[in-house]
């Protein structure tokens, strides 16, 4: 099993092509936690932008949060957060 893993990891990057390459980004419409605005595909077309999926119960999300806030403050990158499987109130409290 370990040999198979190393064989897979040693493959050329061109051998690991995603089926999503050269495909259009799907249309979507997401409500903000504060219910004021709607995020759509068109918002992400403004480059550079980052869509970060996070949750209040996600330990890695809590660790990366200060880095993302620093990145937001020190760069031109527009960062959008997609809250995953939280009750709206929980997500809203976390973003305050």
> Is residue 2 a part of any domain in this protein?
no
> Is residue 30 a part of any domain in this protein?
yes
Of the segments 24-28, 35-39, 62-66, 82-86, which one has the largest average pLDDT value? 62-66
Q: Is the pTM of this model over 0.75?
A: no
Give me the DSSP letters along 29-62.
EEE-TTSS-EEEHHHHTSSSEEEEEE-TT-HHHH
pLDDT at 46: 76
CATH number of domain containing 90:
3.40.30.10
| DSSP-assigned beta bridge partners for residue 50 | 79
For residue 25, give its domain range. 19-95
pLDDT at 59: 94
Rounded to 5 degrees, φ, ψ at 3 are -60, -40
57 Cβ partners below 8 Å, 6+ apart? 86
Please count the structural domains in the chain.
1
pLDDT digits (tens, 9 = 90+) for 34-80: 767 888 988 888 788 898 999 988 999 999 999 999 999 999 888 88
pLDDT at 44: 84
């Amino acid at each position: 099993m370990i040999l198979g893993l190393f064989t897979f990891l040693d493959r050329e990057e061109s051998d690991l092509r995603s089926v999503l390459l050269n495909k259009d980004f799907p249309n979507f419409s997401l409500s903000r936690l504060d219910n004021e605005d709607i995020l759509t595909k068109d918002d992400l077309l403004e480059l550079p932008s980052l869509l970060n999926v996070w949750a209040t119960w996600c330990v890695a999300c809590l660790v990366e949060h200060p880095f993302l806030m620093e990145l937001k403050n020190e760069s031109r990158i527009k960062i959008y957060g997609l809250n995953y499987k939280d009750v709206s109130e929980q997500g809203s409290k976390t973003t305050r």
